[in-house]
Amino acid sequence: MVPRYEDLKGKRVLVTGGAGGIGGACAEAFAREGARVMITGRNRERLEQKVRNLAQAYGANVDFLACDIAAEAGRTQLLENMPVLDVLVNSAGINIPKPFTDNQLEDFEAVFGVNVKALYFVTQAVVRQMIADKRPGRIVNISSQAGMIGLPLRTVYCASKHAVDGFTKALAVDLKGHDINVNGVAPTFVETALTRKALTDPDFSSYIYGEILLNELPATADIANAVLFLSSEASRFMTGTTLLVDAGWTAH
């Protein structure tokens, strides 16, 4: 049974990376709860399709903005079109798996550009707005178990997600007294466009199932359920923490 969060009805939510994988599941979960949702991403066609699907399924109030938040011009475009928000979900993220010695500067800049820089400055803009309006809010950062452990072929990705977890803690401290909760969700491997190719590799799949403690990997909806919880009054005394949804991977 999926828990319901009546207090999210009518809340204004921005989900970055909201057309795919985890971000798309989050957008759907908020739409199901009656929130007013805006999603962003680079691919206009995918965003339009996601909005149509959500409107058809839930009669939802969903809008989109096609922009590249890793670029200053894209962030400016977002700020000019961003509604007054109650909840920000930073879901946009990329990974470029490579051996450490093969990584190039452009790989590092691409991953950190989305996973860290875009997240940091979009959050800054939203928080400034919340503070100026003296409104409570929720910030939820999609991190990864890679923010707490090391994973093969993922030095850049792990470094970026460790940065996200540190940012979550530090921002919560900085926002003391503003009634803005800052938390994260750290999934294990979930089948999305970002991970599908790796999961089809028999050796890699065997490695993953050898590390988790449950019999299956979480679905994107399981991650979205954690995001809903952290966006709702059910988590009102949580801030500066990151919830693991890792099927037990980091327990050993």
Q: What residues are annotated to the active site?
A: 157, 161
Spatial distance between the Cα atoms of 122 and 218, rounded to a whole number of angstroms: 28
| Cβ-contact 30, 8 below 8 angstroms | yes
Environment class of 140 (CB within 10 Å of its CB; exposed 0-12, middle 13-18, buried 19+): buried
Spatial distance between the Cα atoms of 29 and 33, rounded to a whole number of angstroms: 6
Which residues, 6 or more positions from 219, have their beta carbon under 8 angstroms from its beta carbon? 25, 190, 191
3-state SS class at 233: helix
Helices (H), 18-118: 21-32, 44-58, 72-81, 105-112
Integer Rg of the chain from CA: 17
Spatial distance between the Cα atoms of 71 and 86, rounded to a whole number of angstroms: 24
| Cβ-contact 221, 32 below 8 angstroms | no
Environment class of 250 (CB within 10 Å of its CB; exposed 0-12, middle 13-18, buried 19+): middle
